[in-house]
């Protein structure tokens, strides 16, 4: 039929084949005939062939290869559904030979237009990985790309691939963390589960434990408004990292999901990550799940049982929900019982015991036994009811059901050990029962009790032993052992009456079938009745009647929470394949800035560069309000205000920034509008209906509700002001817009305005709250003597010296201020000095010095000029007229002078350095002259060539320096690793040329004798 020309017949044939597969019969002998039909035009035939292929290709690899070209063709199909299904089947065919083809297909599809195809690509990754693990590196690259994807359809699958292929690469998550948090509500439910589980582990490695009490940490985002509280109490629970809070906040709505797996994932996330007082929110949703089908019920109850051990308060108000219905299956009953016992406290114990009493009358003996144990546990945990429970249990001893009696005996035994009251009466009662009790465990327990408390029931002991000795041979091993024990104990306390009996029992035991009992008898005999050649043990009483610690009755779910709640391992209490431990919280939070988003690449067009600010800078701008300092006049006035705003801009930026990522194609024009809208919208209550605006406003409002309201008043007016005062620059900015491709700019007011204002203040009054940022610092070294720029002879008697002051120029902080020393060695007095003619390369600006009135004979005049070199070492060439002479100056800055010293913490340094690896890292090896021995000398040499500031280093042999290029604020990081006499100079800088030049200059400086 498969060879027929009619589609209908083919379809019929395929259907029969599929039915065979489904029933488990093996139609693999039909493979050649089926494979031919892969080219069929009929979509249903095709689909069924696909199904068949996927199932049997592994077994018939050679034949399966015939079909590959069809798939390759289909991958180029204009219909996305066909592309996707082709990729799906292609990757599902487990034939190792085609791994490279699949790899290629995955790579292509990962960049497909259709999110559906991209999703399929993400699904294919783990398939290929299991087929050929060697492709891992390439796959990780694809995963990285897919994680960046903004379509909610893709993200879930991308995370799935991440979890299966490279769960250890947390560095891939950093940049996507905030995006994941913000989009999680919109991801399909299966993806939500995976993302939540993954983020739980991620958060465990990135944030500190919210429940440890700690002295107030210095670098808190919210420090300002919390300061007053902090002064009152020296220790308080740590306030959460903003990202940590973001995760918790965005996960919370998912508790309302209809999918129990999602609810559970959120619940475990809260349990493992949230501060103690917030975990309670998951109690109700979990209770809701308890109501669902039996399968879900048992998983949820396991989790609740674990939670209730540690967090009794969460479920205590709801304990009635765990009352047991007769229709519950047995495992569910037992779990509920355990939970009830965990929740038992003084307030609810009377109700609980009444419930338990009903359960004891149940028909299921296993359940009854468990109930008795539960009563025992309650009794030992809650002192008030111990005697009540004990009395109740003793009453149960007269029950008709022997299983119940046995269970009670065992529980009573445990209770008596921990409780001294009223033992005699109870034991007496139990002794009377021994003839009726058949269950071996119970008999053994009674015997043990008699032995243990033989001094209290001295009258009965020997009598019981006599009876037991009679029936010894018919007893179970367990009971026999206890009889032997009892004999020994009685002999020790009461040798007069029991010596003979004891010997008789030991003799019986000596010839027992079980070697265990024989051994025990031999041991005891040797202790109690030592023969001549063995030394008698002095005090057998101490051995046999040593005080024994009472057993602790506790929930069997006690230690389960070492496993991640809701996981398979947790449910089974076994480590499942592929289970990864939940890492402990780190002592100190790793650097949070790694989660700040950086764009993949930036244009190098000069125009754009001049206007847009580097991203490192933007990150900084979140913490530092840099927008007031456009001109020095304003600086002082606004400094105060901006300082107070620091904290607001920071907290808002987190939520806002990630929002904007979801609309990446928005150009800047639009963005500026949207931000204006936003500032306007914040003050009024937003009432828009659309989902996005809702999430926007709410994510802002939830946490920041109180603060921004106060702050908003101040936020908008200054921004307007600055915009006006920098109108010309704003125009400039607009012109540059098309050159910036989809930059992801921190849309704080500060971040938004930074591009407009090309200046950054160095005012120390703007010290950031956070240590993890860059702080301007004063140069470590400033040259005192000017260098000669134009010699006396070349300048016709005028000597020009030059000195880099290493302080920012007043006009603009991107300018290096340069001191020019003019010395008149001619015989005549010269007229005024001024800049005459300047022809500058693009991107360079010069701020002229004020005209120096005259240069008399033999005198020296100085002038301060500001030059923005635009981060290049091209010479600034300009003419200076001195009187009637024209002097051509060419100032070529040493690379170290277009840098400005900045300081930062070591961790921040390292985290930034990590981002600037590879091409952006330049190295050079210098050999130190013998004169340079200590660190100071080395540092000094570095300071001489470059305006950098030292960064504290934990390693005495490693020196670190930080700097920033003047105009684009690109970070320049210098690391010196000394291994005397060699020094490795590493310079990390986004601008490769600067990095290389600087590395060479530092090397030369160090080499110098």
Partner 1 sequence: MIESIFLINGLGDIVMEKHWASAIPRSICDYFFDVQKSASRPEDVPPVIPVPHNYLINLLRNNLFFVAVISSEVPPLFVIEFLQRVVHIIEEYFGECKESIIKEQHVVVYELLDEMLDNGYPLATESNILKELIKPPNLFRTITNTVTGKSNVSSILPSGQLSNVPWRRADVKYANNEAYFDVVEEVDAIIDKMGGTVMAEIHGYIDCCIRLSGNPDLTLSFINPRLCDDVSFHPCVRFKKWEAERVLSFVPPDGNFTLMSYHVASNNIVAIPIYVKHNIIFREGTGGKMDLTVGPRTTMGKTVENVVLEITMPKSVLNCTLTVTQGRASFDSVTRVLLWDIGKIDPTKLPGCKGSIALQSGATIPSSNPVINVRFCVNQLAASGLKVNRLDMYGERYKPFKGVKYITKAGQFQVRLTIVGTTTVTAAAATFDCDYDRLGLIASATTCD
Q: Using CB under 8 A, which residues numbered 772 to 811 contact partner 1?
A: none
Which residue in 101, 305, 353, 790 binds partner 1 (CB under 8 A)? Answer: 353
Would residue 288 be called left, alpha or beta, if left means φ above 0 and alpha means ψ between -120 and 50 degrees? alpha
Nearer to partner 1, 83 or 900 (CB): 83
Nearer to partner 1, 319 or 878 (CB): 319
Listed ranges 133-141, 202-210, 343-351, 824-832: which one lies at the site for partner 1 (CB under 8 A): 343-351
- Residue 365 to residue 159: CA distance in whole angstroms: 48
**Subset of residues 935 to 974 that bind partner 1, contact rule: CB under 8 A:** none
Backbone angles phi, psi at 593, to 5 degrees: -70, -15
717 binds partner 1 (CB under 8 A): no
Binder among 579, 606, 739, 1004 for partner 1 (CB under 8 A): 579
The CB-of-417 to partner 1 minimum distance in angstroms stands at: 22
Q: Which is nearer to partner 1, 293 or 604 (CB)?
A: 293
- CA 1009/CA 1005 separation, integer angstroms: 9
Q: Which of 357, 473, 764, 765 binds partner 1 (CB under 8 A)?
A: 357
Among 210, 285, 743, 786, binds partner 1 (CB under 8 A): 285
CA atoms of 179 and 243, how far apart (whole Å):
11
User: d(Cα 454, Cα 781) in Å, to the nearest integer?
Assistant: 89
Instruction: Give the closest residue to 405 by CA, choosing from 377, 432, 436.
Output: 436
**Contacting partner 1 (CB under 8 A), which of 62, 218, 231, 327?**
327
> Which residues 367-426 are close enough to bind partner 1 by CB under 8 A?
384-385, 388, 391-392, 395-396, 398-401
Dihedral angle sign, alpha carbons of residues 791, 792, 793, 794: positive
Which string of x and - marks every residue 43-62 that binds partner 1 (by CB under 8 A)?
A: xxx-xx--x---x--x----
Which lies closer to partner 1 via its Cβ, residue 3 or residue 691?
691
Which residue carries 């990135």 as its tokens? 206
Contact pick of 210, 376, 462, 566 for partner 1 (by CB under 8 A): 566
Distance of alpha carbon 803 from alpha carbon 786, whole angstroms: 5
Contacts of partner 1 in 640-699 (CB under 8 A):
691, 694-695, 698
Question: Do the beta carbons of residue 722 and residue 753 sit within 8 Å?
Answer: yes
- Locate 822 and state its tokens: 């003019």
CA-based torsion, 623, 625, 630, 632: positive or negative: negative
Note whether 313 binds partner 1 by CB under 8 A: no
Neighbouring residues of 331: CB distance < 8 A, sequence distance ≥ 6 = 298
CA distance 751 to 744: 10
93's CB contacts (< 8 A; 6+ apart) are 53, 54, 57, 58, 64, 67, 68
- Choose between 27 and 929: whose C-beta lies nearer to partner 1: 27
- Least CB distance from residue 189 to partner 1, whole Å? 7
Q: Which of 433, 524, 526 is nearest to 486 (CA)?
A: 524
**Can you tell me the distance from the alpha carbon of 942 to that of 304, in angstroms, rounded to the nearest whole number?**
62
What is the nearest approach in angstroms of partner 1 to the Cβ of residue 187?
A: 10
Sign of CA dihedral 279, 281, 285, 291: positive
Of the candidates 572, 720, 771, 810, which one interacts with partner 1 according to CB under 8 A? 572
User: Site for partner 1 (CB under 8 A): which residue of 287, 434, 606, 864?
Assistant: 287
Stretch that binds partner 1, among 320-328, 481-489, 747-755, 989-997 (CB under 8 A): 320-328
Q: Binding residue for partner 1 (CB under 8 A) from 97, 534, 574, 842?
A: 574
The C-alpha atoms of residue 763 and residue 429 are separated, in whole angstroms, by 88
Minimum separation from the CB atom of position 199 to partner 1 (A) = 14
Would the CA dihedral through 823, 829, 834, 838 be positive or negative?
negative
Strands 845-847 and 798-808: unpaired
Among positions 358, 537, 886, 993, the unique one binding partner 1 when judged by CB under 8 A: 358
917 vs 50, 615, 708, 920, 925, CA distance in Å? Answer: 45, 16, 38, 6, 18
Only one residue has tokens 């947390």, namely: 170
Site for partner 1 in 90-129 (CB under 8 A): 91-92, 94, 114-116, 120, 123-124, 126-127
253 binding partner 1? (CB under 8 A): yes
In angstroms, give the least distance from the CB of 141 to partner 1. Answer: 20
- For partner 1, which is the closer residue by CB, 361 or 919? 361
Q: What does the block give as tokens for 343?
A: 């929740």
Answer yes or no whether residue 189 interacts with partner 1 by CB under 8 A.
yes
Q: Is residue 42 involved in binding partner 1 (CB under 8 A)?
A: yes
Q: Is 289 exposed, middle or buried (0-12, 13-18, 19+ CB in 10 A)?
A: buried
Cis omega (within 30 of 0) for bond into 385: no
Is residue 29 a contact point for partner 1 (CB under 8 A)?
no
Binder of partner 1 out of 250, 257, 722, 762 (CB under 8 A): 257
Q: What is the DSSP string of 781-832?
A: ----SPEEEE-TTTTTTEEEEEEEEEEE-SS-TTSEEEEEEEEE-SSS-B--
How many whole angstroms separate alpha carbon 629 and alpha carbon 697? Answer: 30
Nearer to partner 1, 582 or 932 (CB): 582
What's the distance, Cα to Cα, between the start and end of the chain in Å?
92
Classify residue 347 by its DSSP letter: T
**Residue with smaller CB distance to partner 1, 703 or 897:** 703
| Residues within window 728-767 making contact with partner 1, judged by CB under 8 A | none
Strand 876-882 vs strand 860-868: parallel, antiparallel, or unpaired?
unpaired
- Rounded CA-CA distance 472/479 in Å is 8
Which is closer to partner 1, CB of 51 or CB of 63?
A: 51
- The interface with partner 1 within residues 457-516 (CB under 8 A) comprises none
Residue 25: helix, strand or coil by DSSP? coil
Please pick, from the candidates 76, 294, 556, 888, the single residue that binds partner 1 as defined by CB under 8 A: 294
Minimal distance, residue 101 CB to partner 1, in Å: 18
Applying CB under 8 A, which of residues 580, 670, 857, 888 lies at the interface with partner 1?
Answer: 580
Q: Which is nearer to partner 1, 405 or 880 (CB)?
A: 405
Residue 822 CA to residue 889 CA, distance in Å, equals: 12
Among 317, 495, 551, 952, binds partner 1 (CB under 8 A): 317
978, HSE (Cβ side, Cα atoms, 13 Å): 21
Q: What is the DSSP letter of 235?
A: E
Structural contact between residues 330 and 367, judged by C-beta atoms closer than 8 angstroms = yes
Tell me whether residue 319 or residue 849 sits nearer to partner 1 (CB atom). 319
Which 1-20 residues touch partner 1, going by CB under 8 A? 6-8, 11, 15, 18-19
320 binds partner 1 (CB under 8 A): yes
# chain residues binding partner 1, by CB under 8 A: 123
Nearer to partner 1, 9 or 33 (CB): 9
Point out which span in 357-365, 587-595, 740-748, 829-837 binds partner 1 (CB under 8 A): 357-365
For the CB of residue 123, give the shortest distance to partner 1 in the complex, in Å: 5
Tokens at residue 560, please?
């389960």
Region binding partner 1 by CB under 8 A among candidate stretches 22-30, 137-145, 429-437, 493-501: 22-30
**Segment interacting with partner 1 (CB under 8 A) among 353-361, 536-544, 764-772, 926-934:** 353-361
Nearer to partner 1, 425 or 731 (CB): 425
Shortest reach from residue 541's CB to partner 1, in Å? 37
Return the residues of window 159-188 that contact partner 1 according to CB under 8 A.
160, 164, 185-186, 188
Structure tokens at 497: 């009456």
Among residues 260, 715, 770, 975, the one that binds partner 1 under rule CB under 8 A: 260
């Amino acid at each position: 039929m498969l060879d027929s020309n009619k589609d209908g017949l083919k379809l019929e044939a395929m259907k029969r084949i599929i039915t065979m597969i489904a029933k488990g019969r093996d139609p693999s002998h039909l493979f050649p005939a089926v494979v031919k039909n892969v080219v069929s035009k009929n979509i249903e035939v095709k689909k069924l062939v696909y199904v068949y292929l996927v199932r049997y290709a592994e077994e018939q690899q050679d034949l399966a290869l015939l079909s590959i070209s069809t798939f390759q063709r289909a991958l180029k199909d204009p219909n996305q559904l066909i592309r996707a299904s082709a990729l799906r089947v292609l990757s599902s065919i487990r034939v190792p030979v085609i791994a490279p083809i699949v790899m290629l297909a995955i790579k292509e599809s990962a960049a497909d237009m259709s999110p559906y195809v991209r999703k399929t690509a993400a699904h294919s990754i783990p398939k290929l990985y299991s087929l050929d693990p060697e492709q891992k590196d390439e796959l990780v690259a694809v995963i990285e790309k897919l994680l960046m994807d903004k379509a909610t359809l893709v993200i879930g699958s991308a995370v799935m691939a991440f979890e299966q292929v490279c769960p250890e690469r947390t560095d891939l998550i950093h940049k996507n963390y905030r995006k994941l948090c913000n989009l999680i509500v919109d991801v399909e439910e299966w993806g939500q589960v995976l993302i939540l589980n993954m983020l739980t582990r991620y958060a465990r490695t990135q944030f500190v434990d919210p429940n440890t009490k700690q002295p107030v940490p210095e670098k808190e985002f919210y420090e300002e408004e919390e300061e007053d509280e902090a002064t009152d109490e020296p220790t308080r629970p740590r306030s959460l990292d903003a990202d940590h809070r973001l995760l918790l906040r965005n996960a919370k709505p998912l508790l309302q999901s209809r999918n129990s797996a999602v609810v559970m994932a959120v619940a475990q996330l809260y349990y493992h990550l949230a501060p103690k007082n917030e975990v309670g929110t998951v109690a109700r949703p979990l209770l809701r799940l308890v109501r669902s089908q039996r399968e879900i019920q048992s998983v949820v109850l396991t989790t609740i049982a674990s939670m209730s051990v540690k967090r009794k308060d969460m479920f205590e108000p709801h304990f009635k929900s765990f009352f047991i219905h007769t229709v519950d299956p047995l495992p569910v009953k037992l779990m509920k019982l355990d939970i009830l016992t965990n929740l038992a406290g003084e307030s609810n114990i009377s109700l609980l015991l009444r419930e338990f009493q009903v359960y004891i009358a149940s028909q299921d003996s296993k359940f009854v036994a468990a109930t008795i144990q539960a009563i025992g546990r309650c009794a030992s945990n809650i002192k008030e009811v111990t005697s009540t429970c004990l009395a109740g249990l003793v009453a149960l001893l007269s029950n008709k059901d022997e299983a119940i009696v046995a269970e009670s005996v065992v529980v009573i035994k445990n209770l008596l050990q921990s409780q001294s009251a009223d033992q005699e009466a109870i034991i007496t009662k139990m002794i009377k029962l021994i003839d009726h009790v058949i269950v071996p465990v119970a008999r053994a327990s009674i015997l043990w009790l008699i032995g243990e408390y033989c001094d209290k029931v001295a009258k009965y002991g020997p009598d019981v032993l006599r009876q037991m000795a009679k029936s010894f041979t018919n007893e179970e091993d367990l009971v026999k052992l206890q009889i032997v024990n009892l004999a020994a104990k009685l002999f020790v306390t009461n040798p007069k009456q029991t010596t003979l009996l004891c010997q008789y029992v030991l003799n019986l035991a000596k010839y027992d079938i079980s070697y265990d009992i024989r051994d025990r008898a031999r041991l005891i005999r040797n202790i109690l009745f030592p023969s001549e050649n063995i030394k008698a043990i002095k005090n057998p009483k101490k051995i046999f009647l040593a005080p024994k610690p009472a057993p602790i009755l506790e929930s069997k779910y006690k230690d389960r929470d070492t496993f991640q709640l809701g996981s398979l391992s947790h449910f089974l209490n076994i480590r499942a394949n592929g289970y990864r431990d939940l890492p402990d919280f780190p002592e100190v939070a790793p650097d949070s800035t790694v989660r700040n988003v950086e764009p993949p690449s930036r244009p190098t067009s000069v125009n754009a560069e001049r206007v847009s600010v580097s991203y490192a800078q933007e990150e900084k701008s979140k913490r530092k309000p840099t927008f007031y300092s456009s001109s020095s006049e304003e600086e002082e006035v606004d400094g105060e205000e901006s300082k107070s705003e620091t904290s607001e801009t920071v907290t808002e930026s987190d939520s806002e920034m990630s929002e904007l990522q979801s609309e990446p194609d928005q150009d800047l024009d639009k963005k500026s509008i949207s931000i204006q809208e936003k500032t306007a919208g914040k003050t009024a209550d937003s009432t828009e209906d659309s989902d996005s605006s809702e999430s926007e406003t709410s994510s802002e409002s939830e946490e920041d509700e109180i603060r921004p309201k106060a702050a908003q008043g101040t936020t908008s007016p200054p921004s307007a002001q600055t915009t006006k005062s920098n109108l010309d620059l704003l125009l400039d900015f607009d012109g540059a817009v098309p050159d910036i491709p989809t930059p992801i700019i921190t849309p704080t007011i500060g971040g938004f305005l930074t591009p407009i204002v090309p200046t950054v203040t160095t005012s120390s009054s703007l010290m950031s709250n956070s240590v993890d940022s860059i702080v301007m610092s004063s140069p470590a070294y400033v040259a005192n003597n000017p260098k000669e720029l134009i010699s006396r002879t070349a300048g016709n008697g005028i000597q020009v010296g030059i000195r880099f002051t290493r302080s920012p120029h007043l006009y603009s902080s991107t300018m290096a201020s340069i001191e020019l020393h003019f010395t008149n060695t001619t015989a005549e007095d010269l007229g005024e000095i001024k800049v005459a003619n300047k022809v500058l390369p693009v991107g360079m600006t010069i701020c002229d010095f004020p005209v120096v009135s005259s240069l008399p004979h033999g005198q020296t005049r100085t002038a301060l000029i500001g030059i923005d070199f635009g981060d290049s070492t091209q010479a600034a060439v300009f003419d200076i007229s001195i009187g009637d002479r024209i002097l051509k100056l060419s100032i070529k800055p040493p690379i170290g002078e277009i840098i400005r010293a900045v300081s930062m913490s070591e961790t921040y340094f390292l985290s930034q350095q990590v981002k600037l690896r590879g091409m952006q890292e330049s190295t050079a090896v210098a050999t130190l002259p013998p004169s340079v021995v200590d660190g100071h000398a080395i540092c000094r040499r570095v300071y001489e060539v470059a305006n950098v500031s030292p960064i504290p280093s934990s390693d005495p042999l490693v020196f670190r320096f930080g700097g920033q290029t003047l105009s684009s604020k690109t970070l320049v990081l210098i690391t010196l690793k000394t291994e005397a006499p060699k020094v490795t100079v590493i310079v990390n800088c986004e601008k490769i040329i600067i990095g290389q030049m600087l590395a060479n200059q530092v090397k030369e400086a160090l080499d110098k004798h």
